[in-house]
Structure 1
């Protein structure tokens, strides 16, 4: 019996293929709301430009925006191919976030700090250990506070209100089609 139920489910169209009778896609079935994605994981939040924007706003208020900026700079650095550009970006990351004179110094374990000599031979993963430390700091500290913050909750409420309004309009469209046919 279980196998037949699974078989029936697998024959159904995926949610992204669901359309209203007028041919338009039903957005409520297409994807999770952005706040739901953000709440699912820090990784999801950091993959969404709007999520990064909101998280930065929150971290700025907490005086720890440098953490997400460092993480983003490391992500950009890992994608670089040109050695000369990598050298320049590595030095920029070091001077901005890691040196003792850094303008936006991140809080990483002292023994894992890089010295300037390593900047001469950059490689894509040279900041990985430090980036992982900052990621974990954000994940287990600021991210959980972000999810409880007024900034996040207000965005979530706005999203829900927009969805409710959209659902009401969709229901009204369906009702008018039923009565006008």
Structure 2
């Protein structure tokens, strides 16, 4: 059986173009909350927005859970689980998130940590952000300014590319 190679399409400057490259920056962020959370700049802008809405703890909790899932060492896992619990879930938490069943949570869950122990709570926070904060973020000044700045940069680089192509044509 022969392996098929993907067809490579080049843009006007001869650079490979792909559907993954088609959406960049704010366009990717607008496509889905998942895309936004995969982009460090997107996370930074979203945090900035959530801070103004007094709900930055939601994305911080989500990020902490993502990091926690990658933890392999049992001792480290226990320490991180306790840190997440004390920071976001305990009744005395400094950045408490609002999740269902929180009143039933107690420190006994920290005795046997496992990578998905916070998954249900993380999913609740993700859905809260997705159906509440995210749509407002896409209409916010923070997002719109970033988008406008990106578009201006793009237009500027397109003009430079056109000038380069023109100079190649006329300098031959």
TM-score, normalized by the shorter chain, greater than 0.5: yes
Contact 2:89 2:102 in 1 (8 A): no
Q: 1:52 to 1:39 in 2, by over 3 A?
A: same
TM-score normalised according to structure 2 size: 0.90
Which sections of structure 1, spanning at least 5 residues, go unmatched? 1-10
Answer yes or no: is 1:173 the counterpart of 2:154.
no
Q: Evaluate the alpha carbon distance shift between residue 167 and residue 112 of structure 1 in structure 2; reply closer, same or farther with a 3 A threshold.
A: farther
Shift in Å, 1:82: 0.5
Equivalent of 1:67, from 54, 58, 66? 58
CA distance in 2 between counterparts of 1:86 and 1:119 reads 9
Q: Which residue, 2, 13, 16 being the options, matches 1:20? A: 13
How do residues 5-154 of structure 1 correspond to structure 2 at under 5 angstroms?
Answer: 13-15=7-9, 17-18=10-11, 20=13, 25=15, 30-110=21-101, 113-154=104-145
> Could you tell me how far apart the structure 2 residues matched to 1:113 and 1:124 are?
20
Over the aligned positions, Cα root-mean-square deviation in angstroms equals: 2.2
> Structure 1 or 2: larger helix share?
1
CA 1:118/1:12 → structure 2, altered by over 3 Å: closer, same or farther? closer
Task: Report the CA distance between 1:18 and its aligned residue.
Answer: 3.8
In our comparison, the structure showing a higher alpha carbon Rg is 1
CA contact (8 A) 2:78 2:111 kept: yes
Number of corresponding residues: 168
CA contact (8 A) 1:67 1:106 kept: yes
The answer to whether the 8 A contact 1:19-1:26 is kept is: no
